[in-house]
């Protein structure tokens, strides 16, 4: 009986440590902003955008193409009317307006969807953009972007 009484508390302690580590991983967003800032997506230069799925948007700004991943499901993103609009984080609006780099506080939204937090932004090539565009359910132009940061 003694070996069992020693094993049970150790097992319970190990389970608690594993559960707390798992909870810490799911709550901590991991931002990896694009650098240099000149490489960021400029929302005032968007020519076209496509909603690939509930957590993925692609956008083209001039010759540059971007993959935007969201932190949570945004099922109404890009639904008409009103299209899609990107917002930079408030701290950066004064120094780099319209820049979407994948930093905390950046969002994308549409008329019937509350703001969706952006998890990451990365540049992609034309081939990947075209492949993702084939699977997009909604799309639009950059004409629906706000005129002020």
pLDDT tens track for 23-57: 444 555 577 788 888 899 999 999 999 999 999 99
Does 19 fall in a domain? no
What is this structure's pTM? 0.75
Does 94 fall in a domain? yes
Does 105 fall in a domain? yes
Q: Does pLDDT of 117 surpass 50? A: yes
Closest to 72 measured CA to CA, from 46, 99, 41, 108? 108
Does 30 fall in a domain? no
Does 53 fall in a domain? yes
Which range marks the domain in which residue 88 is found?
Answer: 37-144
When pLDDT is cut at 50, 70 and 90, the band that residue 13 belongs to is very low
Residue with tokens 């991991």: 30
Does 43 fall in a domain? yes
Does 44 fall in a domain? yes
Q: Count the domains in the chain.
A: 1
Does 55 fall in a domain? yes
């Amino acid at each position: 009986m003694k070996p069992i009484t020693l094993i049970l508390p150790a097992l319970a302690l190990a389970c608690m440590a594993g559960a707390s580590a798992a909870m810490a991983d799911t709550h901590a967003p991991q931002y990896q902003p694009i650098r240099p800032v000149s490489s960021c997506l400029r929302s005032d230069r968007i020519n076209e955008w496509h909603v690939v799925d509930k957590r993925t948007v692609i956008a083209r700004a001039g010759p540059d193409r971007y993959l935007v991943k969201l932190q949570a499901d945004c099922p109404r993103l890009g639904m008409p009317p009103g299209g899609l609009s990107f917002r930079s984080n408030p701290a950066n609006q004064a120094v780099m307006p319209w820049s979407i780099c994948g930093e905390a506080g950046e969002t994308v939204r549409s008329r019937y969807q509350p703001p969706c937090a952006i998890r990451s932004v990365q540049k992609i090539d034309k081939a990947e953009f075209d492949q993702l565009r084939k699977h997009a359910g909604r799309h639009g132009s950059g004409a629906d972007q706000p005129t002020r940061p």
